[in-house]
Chains A and B, each alone.
Chain A
């Protein structure tokens, strides 16, 4: 017995494609501007075995991973520090509140002047964007630690550091991972945006620009579809990781950053 939800989902997607296809064929949309749904699907399938496009995908994933790793290495320690030192946190909070809303893409023109290579430009901007979800969720996780657990350890004569290592960090870990998951989606969007805005040697964004300059709308849309699929895959993987690693932890919602 197949889950009716799955059936409906498949029908929904198929229906949307069929409507788009019919609109194109009936002449409601100019197929020279907006290609047929079937064309886009065929192009997207073709891209999966297109060596040039796969190189662009791996370039995007490269800067994405680099930026995400640097962001985690920066934001987790800072988050732990701020989360366990409330006075420092109170002092730094106005700065965070001011820096967080700055659109990371607005940094691209500035960083492009300062940084030596365009890979560094992209990684810098990704790090900036990906830091916030990790930082905010790490701080939140440390605040959320059960005071009874902390007091229990203190009562047994453990010091601050021991409490941090044995209670605070393990119980904050699920929040950190949620922050990483949110950061991963943000980082992917920023990576592609940076490629679109700053250009460079390769990447999905660069591929889309090239396709655009040749008026190949079908390839542009097909590449955007792949960007979406990669985003879904990354998110699904991290959701799975959260489920496997932190089965015991109910509150997986996290703090949207």
Chain B
């Protein structure tokens, strides 16, 4: 795992003239964005062939800072735009970055259908358990009982397990990392990029500004420490199930390649083209 050195990476993959970024101090999104860039570098993709698509929200500002073909779409619809791009030109490596509300509330329908088709899109969700851009409303991944500006008396919605959702819908590669476990996150994205099909990688992020403050989680350091102390790799749990009790599972959950959608369509073209 030898990545290009840090300064070279910055110059090569970031639009440094777009900095500084808009994220709050302590936000986990910058770290997660960096794992995406490092994974692209490690896999060795040509920048001209990479398209990064996002929806709306804090996470969705990431593509603007990344020096690829980048598309900042409408709220929830990133996967639908990305599907059109991949269909039109299957040679492109299409990466989608979404937030938790973006991907599973307003965009939930597109998530399950992109997964079902197994279209070759690497989807990375920066999950900070809150709507940050609009100031701290609960999302479909806000834990039950937690507080948000629209759950002032505690959240009575049950939270999605995004990885289970994506796997159940048909994603052929599924994993979860965190902003603290950046090397793992990078590795999962690398494998997602290499999977010819729909890959879903959840990156647990942290929002000290809204979610953290509302729920007395402490500063960014404390929130990172929480990930450090409470996440267990699925490989460990598979051997010792008791180690997974009341913990957050991370690691590679599912890796089972199946026929990719645009390849399936190409078979039709090859057979019926006149």
Partners in one complex: no
Q: Which residues of B contact A (CB under 8 A)?
A: none
